[in-house]
Amino acid sequence: MKILSESEISKSSDCPYLKGMPYKQEYFCAYGVDSSEFQTLLDQRWRRFGIVFFRPVCPDCMKCIPIRVDVSRFKPSSSQRRVLKKNRETTVLFSELTYREDLFAVYEKHSRIKFDQTVTEEEFFRNFFQPAVPSFQSEFYVDEKLIGFGILDESGSGLSTVYFSYDPDYSSLSPGTYSILESGLLKRVLNQTV
C-alpha cells in the first residue's frame, strides 16, 4: 500500500443519512492496496471512493454499520426471490473497469432524479475509475439497453460494493437489490472455481 496522505478527521457537518445529526469522518489517501490489506481496512469499517478511504467517526453515534453477507449460508427471502424472477430477462456482465459515456449517462440520471444532485464526468471518473484496490464492474442490460452498473472491490475474503447506479425508469425491477444478489452469486462461483 502506498499512502499519499496520513489520516485526518473532517470538520463536523450535517449527516447525509440521519437528519439533525452531526457527521464526521476519518479519511486518508492511498493506492496500490492489495486484497489482504483491503480486507484489513474493511474489517476496520473503512470504505473508499477512488483513492480516498474514509470511515464515520461521529460523536455519540455508531449507527453506520457495514452489512456483510456470508454467501455460503445465504438463502434469498421471498421478496428477493421475486426480484430474481422479475430480472429473468436482465443480462449481467462482469468486466474490468472501463470508463464509457453510457455509464456516466446512467450515473448522471440516477444522481439527478434520485438525489437531486449535479455530477461531473471528472468526479465520476475520479471516484470510480481510478481504483486503489483490485476492482471490476458489473453491467445490467434489458433488451440490450444499459439500465445499471456497479463498481465492486475484491478483498481477501469477499466483494465490496463501492457504488451501484441505475436508470430510475427501471426502478420496478429493484435493480439495487438485484445487483447485490448477482454479486453474491458471482462470489459463490469464484469460490467454487478457485
Judgement on whether residues 122 and 82 belong to the same structural domain of the protein: yes
Judgement on whether residues 51 and 83 belong to the same structural domain of the protein: no
* pTM score: 0.86
Q: Give the cell for residue 153.
A: 472491490
Q: 145 in the Ramachandran plot: left (φ > 0), alpha (ψ -120 to 50) or beta?
A: beta
Structural domain for 46, as ranges: 2-56
Phi/psi at 31 (5° precision): -145, 175
Residue 70: CB atoms within 10 Å: 9
Distance between CA atoms of 189 and 110, rounded to whole angstroms?
Answer: 30
Judgement on whether residues 87 and 172 belong to the same structural domain of the protein: yes
Residue 108: enclosing H or E segment and its boundaries?
helix 101-115
Q: Of 150, 173, 43, 21, which Cα lies nearest the Cα of 97? A: 150
pLDDT of residue 194: 36
pLDDT of residue 185: 62
Judgement on whether residues 28 and 120 belong to the same structural domain of the protein: no
With H, G, I as helix, E, B as strand and everything else as coil, classify residue 162: strand
Angle between helices 121-128 and 101-115 (to 10 degrees): 100
Judgement on whether residues 47 and 101 belong to the same structural domain of the protein: no
Judgement on whether residues 49 and 111 belong to the same structural domain of the protein: no
Residue 52: inside a domain: yes
Q: List, for the chain, all residue ranges whose pLDDT scores fall below the cut of 50.
A: 192-194
